[in-house]
Each structure stands twice: as structure tokens, then as C-alpha cells.
């Protein structure tokens, strides 16, 4: 029988490896930034065009490479980080397996320029699809510049799986944040399509967080600092009152490497137990330092998952450290049995006799008697004698003259006002469109402030009020955005809301659709938006919640070019504004909800395809009693 096992060609092996390392342009950004950091750079520039599909360029001022290293770095498993298997447990660098550049070179056009500090000239190498097309000497500054062009040019199927530019750019910014947050001693600059998006100067950790997420972030941070033999914890957690519905601002760094850990995230959530509102998540930026021998970071191609030797100890330490910080800075409620004497109520006059107030009344005063003598005014309620105020009462002897001529005047006016027209009250339309002449044929009941029970000919109808209202609002918003005739309610005072740069970019993309629903934006800046008008059905206090929920939905559902942003916006606003479970409804509100639901095009399901109501026939009820 013929042999069937064979070695794969290098270009095929590289493309397979690229499938593990490079999922999207953001993966290339992560690898190139980490290489620049390992090279000892103090300034790193990231240049993006068309969300990385056309160009990803990283320029650093690190130590550079020699001619041999520049050529060798694109070979598979060529690395300067490890020399033996034991080095895998003593890693202090970002990359170590030597797969990144070889994988990227197999699926893109790469141009590399590099020069070491002591050399007069540098080296330029051009690679297309894994093959070196040119290598020459060039004049270039110290450091390395790597340009990745036309990503996935030779794998059209992979390129078709990429999302829209807006979505891919958000992933790139996420990776940029993860690298920049942990290296505050490096100056990072991000250019997107020729414009500067981020310029992060050298600073401390707190200032780096503020520079990325906005100036308002500074007042939200609570420092965490704990140093033990097993683990060193530093960083910040967000105050409970600033918790968001999104998980975007949650960062764990272990030995200067961003990781994802649901187990450690649960430790933070348990530390905030009882302090957060339902459905909200606390922000945290925590830097953990452990012995490299106690972790294994080589279990995932992207190295975002780490295996710990003793997870239970880390869990307990992390939970107690966060809880201690919240209590230390008076964020968490505590019982204080040591009373501060300066706050006690003084009782110096406790045993002194109180004097009852006296009221002086002039009992001889008569308003119907003319008297020219001064009269003493009543004194205010006081125990001390008050000053006397005298006045002279006017004479009332000629009171009959006040009515002279009134009779003739009233006769003349009666002729002028022979016809009197009364202005009718302005009728205001009810939001429930009630008409008393129409006799209500359906009877509704509210069950546990969650379900609405209504009778039908065949039996009984059970409606989920939250889901039903979602369907009603969804179709209303979708109609308003489609015909662009939404009614806006102007605010007395403009509403200013603060967001991070990434969230502002999302709002800019949705601004036009939001305006079609009734929002009016007076200004959209780098870290804030000013709103002067909101839809009629949206209370002012709910605006920030709606926009946060909208940003969360856009980030999580990741709509691509084939997905309707209008539809997503309508779904998100309907979910935020729908009446909640536990809200009591009056009879007319219940009936209006039922009538509006069955006036919808698809009353059976919510915008997310969940059932809105169920029916139970009389026969089914009869079977329950058998």
C-alpha cells in the first residue's frame, strides 16, 4: 500500500498557522505592537488605513535588527526570546514562538525597514505571500518600520469573512488599548486614515487610563494596592455608582500581558456584591504580578488565556484586596462603632428651665370704633418685651359714599355686555385614545406586575408586558426612522454626556439614525456630546442609559455591512424604554397595551424573536381539572 503521509510545503504550513494567529487586522496590530515593545521602543506609532485592510504600519524607535536578523525574522519558529523548553517558564517578553511575522508574511505584502544604533545604513526587505522579492540597503532612522498591506490578498475567502470597516476598527482600537494601558512608560500614537485618533504621552497608570477613556474617568477610579508573597496587585476599580451595562472597561494584566479570565472576573463581581444595580458591571484596571514559573501562557495562540497553578488563592486575594479598597475609601457601607464626639448633638441646656413664649393682645382694640389715640400692636411670639407700633385708624363715617354712582354704572355696563361668550376648555388627546362611547368588551388583569391576562372567545390570553411593549416600541421607532418624521421634544437645558473616544466614534456612526428618531445633537466632541432634544417618548433621565445600552448592543452584536444599523438602533431603544417587569399598570394602560400589540405587524414575537404571549383554550383549562 502506498504511503499517504507527507510533509506540507512551507507556504501551506504558513497559511495554516496564519489561520490561528491572524483572525483579523487587529491580530496583526497586536503582534506588531508587542514586537515593538520587546525591541525596547520609547515611541510607537500605529498607522491604519481602511481599518487595516489596506495598510497597517507600526513604527518604533527600538534597537532595530541587523541584516541577518531582518531576513531571518520571517522564518517559522525563528525567535530571540527562548533557546530551550525551560525558557517557556521564565518568560518576560510578549512574543516568543516566532510564528507571527512568518504567518503575516504568508497572507500579505510586507515592507520592513530597520536599522541598529551603531550602523550607518539600514535594511529594507519586501515580501509578497511569503516570498522575498527584494532586499536592499536604505537610509532609515534607528528602529523598525513594518508595513502590512493588502491583508488576505491571496486568501479571498478569509477576506470575505472580515466585517465592515467600523467593526474592524473597533477591534483594532481594543487591541491598541490593551497594549497601551499596561505600558504607560511608552508614548503611543494612533493615526486612522490620516487623522490622529490617540496621542498618549508617557505618564503613570492612572493618567494613561484618563488619557484613553476621558477626563471624567479620573473621579471614577478607586486605587487597589496589595503586596503578598504569592501575588502583587495594583491598579484601579470603578466606583459602583459609575457602573455600566457594558463590560468594555474591564482589564486584567498578568506580568504586563492582557488576559481574559472569567474566574478572576467572578472574584471582582463578588467583591462588589450588593453595591451594583442589577444588570450593571463594574470597571476595573488591575495589574497582577506573579512568579512566571507559576503560570503557563502557552495554551492559546493569542496568549490571552493563562493557566495558574493556584487559582483559588489568587481568587481569595483579589476579592479581599478589592473589598478592602472599597471599604478604605468609604465606597462600601461599613458599621462604625466608634462615635465621633464632634458630630454629637450638644445638650448643654438639657437641665435648664425653658421659658414659655407669651403673647400680648390689646383687648380694648375695636376696629369699628373711631379712635384717634395710638394703639399698641400685638407683639410677636417672644419672651422679651417688643417695641410698640402706633397708627391712626381712618374714619369710616363716610362709607356710604363708596357706593354712589354704582347703580347707574352697572346699568350701562349691562347693556354693553348683553352677550357673554365663555372660552371652552382645550381638549387634550389621551395617549390611550379612550372613547367613553365605545363599550369595552375585553377585561384585563395584571398578574404579579409581569403578565397581563385577557379573555378571548376561545379561552384566555397571557401577555408578557415587557416583551409586548418591546414589539410595540420597535415597530414605532422603525417607522419613524424609515419615514424620517419623528417628533422631538426640546430640552430646557442642554444635556451633556461624557463618553470615551471609542464610544464617541460609535455615536458618530449612529448620529444620523438617532436624529431620525428624535434626538437633536448640538455638538459632538472628542469626549462628550451635547443633546438639546430627545424623542417625545424618552424621559430626560433615561437618555444616558439608552445611549450606553445602544453602544453595548453595537459592540456585542457587531453589525457588518449586511446588517441594518437602523434595525439595531430600533431594537436597542425598544429594549431600553419598554416597561419593566414589576411595573404596575392601570386598567386603561393594560387595555391599550393589548390593543397596540395586536395592531403590530408581528405581534407574536419580540424584535429578538422571543414569544410575547401565549393562549390557553377552554378545553385545555378543562383538562387541568380532570
Structural domain boundaries in the chain? 10-200, 205-328, 444-597
pLDDT for res 562: 42
- List, in order, residues 6 or more apart from 494 with CB less than 8 Å away: 522, 530, 531, 532
For residues 293 and 90, give the distance between their C-alpha atoms in angstroms, rounded to a whole number: 6
**Span 162-166, average pLDDT:** 83
Distance CA 165, CA 50 (A): 6
Q: What architecture does CATH give domain 205-328?
A: 2-Layer Sandwich (3.30)
What is the CA 566 to chain-centroid distance, rounded? 19
Mean local confidence (pLDDT), 135-146: 93
- Position 394 confidence tier, pLDDT thresholds 50, 70, 90: low
- Among the residue ranges 390-399, 448-457, 548-557, 582-591, the one predicted with the least confidence is 390-399
Mean pLDDT over 154-162 rounds to 83
Edge-first strand order for the sheet with 221-227 is 221-227, 232-238, 284-289, 250-254, 257-259
DSSP 454-466: EEETTEEEEEEHH
pLDDT digits (tens, 9 = 90+) for 27-84: 999 989 988 998 889 999 999 999 999 999 999 999 889 888 888 888 876 666 665 6
Q: Which residues pair with 127 in a beta bridge?
A: 110, 132
CB count in 10 Å sphere of residue 332: 18
Distances (CA, A) of 204 to 30, 182, 527: 22, 10, 21
Q: What mean pLDDT comes out for the span 17-26? A: 78
What does the DSSP 8-state code read for residue 504? H
- Domain 10-200: top CATH class: alpha beta
| CA 375/CA 8 separation, integer angstroms | 119
Q: Is residue 170 over pLDDT 90?
A: no
189 forms bridges with which residues in the sheet?
Answer: 45, 199
Residue 62 neighbours by CB distance under 10 Å:
21
User: Which residues, listed in sequence order, are joined to residue 232 by a DSSP beta bridge?
Assistant: 227, 289
Q: What percent of the chain lies above the pLDDT cut of 90?
A: 24
User: In this predicted structure, what is the pLDDT of residue 436?
Assistant: 47
Percent above pLDDT 70 for the chain:
76
Residue 423: the pLDDT is 61
pLDDT score at 567: 78
Q: What is the pLDDT at residue 114?
A: 93
The answer to whether the CB of 563 falls within 8 A of the CB of 435 is no
Give pLDDT, residue 322.
Answer: 92
413 pLDDT band, cuts 50/70/90, is low
Per-residue pLDDT band at 18 (split at 50, 70, 90): low
Distance between CA atoms of residues 522 and 510, nearest Å = 15
In this predicted structure, the answer to whether residue 439 has a pLDDT above a threshold of 50 is no
Q: 242 versus 398: which is more confidently predicted?
A: 242
pLDDT number for residue 477? 82
CATH of domain 444-597: 3.30.1370.100
Would you tell me how many other CB atoms lie within 10 Å of the CB of residue 55? 17
Query: Looking at 298-312, 340-354, 585-599, which range is the least confident one?
Result: 340-354
Judge whether residue 448 has pLDDT over 80: yes
pLDDT at 160: 84
Q: What is residue 333's predicted lDDT score, i.e. its pLDDT?
A: 58
pTM of the full structure: 0.69
- Rounded to 10°, the helix 501-517/543-557 angle is 110
Mean pLDDT within 552-571 = 66
Q: What is the mean pLDDT of residues 401-423?
A: 59
- pLDDT at residue 389 above 60? no
pLDDT for position 499: 85
Helix (H) or strand (E) holding 489: strand 488-498
Contact 290, 231 (CB under 8 A): yes
Average pLDDT score over residue span 226-252: 87
pLDDT of residue 82: 60
Q: What is the C-alpha separation between 585 and 452, in angstroms, rounded?
A: 9
Q: What is the pLDDT of residue 205?
A: 92
Residue 430, pLDDT > 50, answer no
pLDDT at residue 536, as a whole number: 79
Is the pLDDT at 446 greater than 50? The verdict is yes
- pLDDT for res 175: 92
Can you give the pLDDT at residue 396? Answer: 60
Angle between the N-to-C axes of helices 501-517 and 465-483, in degrees from 0 to 180, rounded to the nearest 10: 80
Confidence category of residue 383, pLDDT binned at 50, 70, 90: very low
pLDDT band at 341 (very low <50, low <70, confident <90, very high): low
372 pLDDT band, cuts 50/70/90, is low
Residues whose CB falls within 8 Å of the CB of residue 543, separated by 6 or more in sequence, listed in order: 495, 497, 531, 534
Amino acid at each position: 500500500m502506498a504511503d499517504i503521509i507527507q510533509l506540507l510545503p512551507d507556504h501551506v504550513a504558513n497559511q495554516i498557522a496564519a489561520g490561528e494567529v491572524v483572525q483579523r487586522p487587529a491580530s496583526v496590530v497586536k503582534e506588531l505592537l508587542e514586537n515593538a515593545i520587546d525591541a525596547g521602543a520609547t515611541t510607537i506609532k500605529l498607522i491604519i488605513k481602511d481599518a487595516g485592510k489596506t495598510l497597517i504600519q507600526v513604527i518604533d524607535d527600538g534597537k532595530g535588527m541587523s541584516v541577518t536578523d531582518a531576513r531571518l525574522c520571517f522564518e517559522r519558529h525563528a525567535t530571540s526570546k527562548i533557546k530551550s523548553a525551560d525558557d517557556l517558564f521564565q518568560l518576560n517578553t510578549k512574543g516568543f514562538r516566532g510564528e507571527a511575522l512568518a504567518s503575516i508574511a504568508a497572507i500579505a505584502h510586507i515592507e520592513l525597514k530597520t536599522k541598529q544604533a551603531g550602523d550607518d545604513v539600514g535594511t529594507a526587505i519586501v515580501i509578497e505571500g511569503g516570498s522575498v522579492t527584494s532586499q536592499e540597503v536604505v537610509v532609515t532612522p534607528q528602529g523598525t518600520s513594518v508595513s502590512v498591506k493588502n491583508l488576505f490578498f491571496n486568501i479571498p475567502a478569509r477576506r470575505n469573512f472580515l466585517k465592515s470597516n467600523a467593526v474592524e476598527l473597533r477591534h483594532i482600537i481594543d487591541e491598541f488599548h490593551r497594549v497601551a494601558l499596561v505600558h504607560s512608560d511608552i508614548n503611543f500614537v494612533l493615526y486612522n486614515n490620516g487623522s490622529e485618533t490617540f496621542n498618549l504621552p508617557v505618564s503613570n497608570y492612572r493618567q494613561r487610563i484618563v488619557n484613553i477613556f476621558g477626563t471624567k474617568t479620573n473621579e471614577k477610579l478607586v486605587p487597589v494596592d496589595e503586596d503578598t508573597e504569592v501575588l502583587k496587585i495594583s491598579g484601579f476599580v470603578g466606583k459602583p455608582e459609575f457602573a455600566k451595562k457594558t463590560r468594555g472597561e474591564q482589564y486584567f494584566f498578568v506580568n504586563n500581558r492582557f488576559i481574559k479570565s472569567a474566574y478572576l472576573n467572578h472574584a471582582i463581581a463578588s467583591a462588589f456584591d450588593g453595591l451594583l444595580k442589577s444588570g450593571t458591571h463594574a470597571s476595573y484596571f488591575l495589574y497582577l504580578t506573579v512568579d512566571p514559573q507559576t503560570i503557563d501562557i502557552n495554551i492559546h495562540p493569542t496568549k490571552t488565556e493563562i493557566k495558574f497553578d493556584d487559582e483559588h488563592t489568587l481568587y481569595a486575594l483579589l476579592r479581599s484586596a478589592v473589598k478592602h479598597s472599597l471599604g478604605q475609601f468609604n465606597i462600601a457601607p461599613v458599621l462604625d462603632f466608634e462615635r465621633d464626639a464632634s458630630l454629637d448633638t450638644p445638650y448643654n441646656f438639657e437641665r435648664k428651665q425653658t421659658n414659655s413664649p407669651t403673647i400680648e393682645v390689646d383687648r380694648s382694640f375695636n376696629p369699628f370704633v373711631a379712635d384717634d389715640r395710638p394703639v399698641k400692636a400685638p407683639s410677636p411670639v417672644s419672651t422679651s418685651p417688643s417695641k410698640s407700633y402706633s397708627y391712626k385708624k381712618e374714619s369710616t363715617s363716610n362709607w356710604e359714599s363708596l357706593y354712589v354712582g354704582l347703580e347707574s354704572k352697572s346699568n350701562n355696563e349691562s347693556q354693553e355686555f348683553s352677550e357673554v361668550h365663555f372660552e371652552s376648555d382645550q381638549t387634550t388627546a389621551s395617549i390611550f385614545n379612550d372613547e367613553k362611547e365605545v363599550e369595552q368588551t375585553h377585561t384585563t388583569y395584571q398578574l404579579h406586575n409581569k403578565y397581563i391576562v385577557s379573555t378571548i372567545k376561545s379561552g384566555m390570553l397571557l401577555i408578557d408586558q415587557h416583551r409586548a411593549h418591546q414589539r410595540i416600541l420597535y415597530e414605532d421607532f422603525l417607522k419613524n426612522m424609515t419615514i424620517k418624521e419623528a417628533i422631538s421634544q426640546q430640552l430646557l437645558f442642554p444635556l451633556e454626556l461624557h463618553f470615551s473616544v471609542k464610544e464617541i466614534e460609535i455615536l458618530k456612526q449612529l448620529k444620523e439614525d438617532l436624529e431620525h428618531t428624535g434626538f437633536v445633537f448640538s455638538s459632538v466632541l472628542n469626549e462628550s456630546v451635547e443633546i438639546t432634544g430627545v424623542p417625545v417618548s424618552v424621559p430626560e433621565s433615561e437618555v444616558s442609559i439608552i445611549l450606553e445600552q445602544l453602544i453595548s448592543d453595537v459592540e456585542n452584536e457587531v453589525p457588518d455591512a449586511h446588517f441594518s444599523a437602523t434595525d439595531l438602533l430600533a431594537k436597542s431603544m425598544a429594549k431600553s424604554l419598554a416597561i419593566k417587569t414589576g411595573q404596575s399598570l392601570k386598567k386603561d394602560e393594560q387595555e391599550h397595551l393589548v390593543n397596540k400589540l395586536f395592531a403590530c405587524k408581528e405581534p407574536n414575537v419580540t424584535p429578538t424573536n422571543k414569544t410575547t404571549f401565549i393562549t390557553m383554550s377552554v378545553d385545555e383549562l378543562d383538562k387541568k381539572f380532570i
